[in-house]
Structure 1
């Protein structure tokens, strides 16, 4: 009747999203070493990169799972953002969460859910 949720797919999606983020940040840091960008451009890049990474990870995880796309996408987004938060705390940002972080979390959750639904429809 109901398929059991495959948690390993969520982990694989988060891992793939994290790899995309690391590669893009590496490329961006190489570019900014030679061409400085304003903080607004960097902030916009980080938001777009977060959403693209969540989209990719959610679509991959949902295609692997085959069901419950919105839930798989939501879980990928939440765990991805949790990992980003932990990494930023370890890098010295502090434990505080401001309004921008909260909005980024909500956007990631929305993109994760919607891309999970999209992946279910792509599969059929």
Structure 2
């Protein structure tokens, strides 16, 4: 990976993180009005993660314009790492169970596919 590609990747990660924060704020406002189930929370978090990774990956790949699948996977990996660290700082103790591993693999897949999509748009 060239040094010139690091800035668009960092920008894609930043944009995906900001999108996640915006979605979470909107969801927090909705949760103050409506009581939602744990299943609805899980679905929302999954959709937010997928959309954020897609946005960040496509943005980074459009700037770099090559190796879309690799760039998308890098954005997804770093995004998930940031989410994991923030979760640890917030006091959650996320373990590396099957669910976490599946979520990470899903993020890698979404990143790779979004990167390929970003090249072809």
What TM-score bracket applies, with the shorter chain setting the length? over 0.9
**What SS is found at the alignment partner of 1:7?**
helix
The answer to whether residue 118 in structure 2 is matched with residue 119 in structure 1 is yes
Shift of 1:13: 0.6
Aligned length: 120
Distance (whole Å) between structure 2 residues aligned to residue 95 and residue 41 of structure 1: 19
Shift of 1:31: 0.3
Runs of 4+ aligned residues of structure 1 deviating over 6 Å after TM superposition are none
Shift of 1:15: 0.3
Q: Which residue of 2 aligns with 1:22?
A: 21
Shift of 1:95: 5.3
Shift of 1:75: 0.3
1:1-124 pair list within 5 angstroms: 4=2, 6-94=5-93, 96-122=95-121
Distance (whole Å) between structure 1 residues aligned to residue 95 and residue 120 of structure 2: 38
Shift of 1:46: 0.2
User: Considering only aligned residues, what root-mean-square deviation do their CA atoms show, in Å?
Assistant: 1.3
Q: TM-score, normalised by structure 2?
A: 0.94
Cα distance change on mapping 1:107 and 1:95 into 2, 3 Å: closer
Shift of 1:94: 1.9
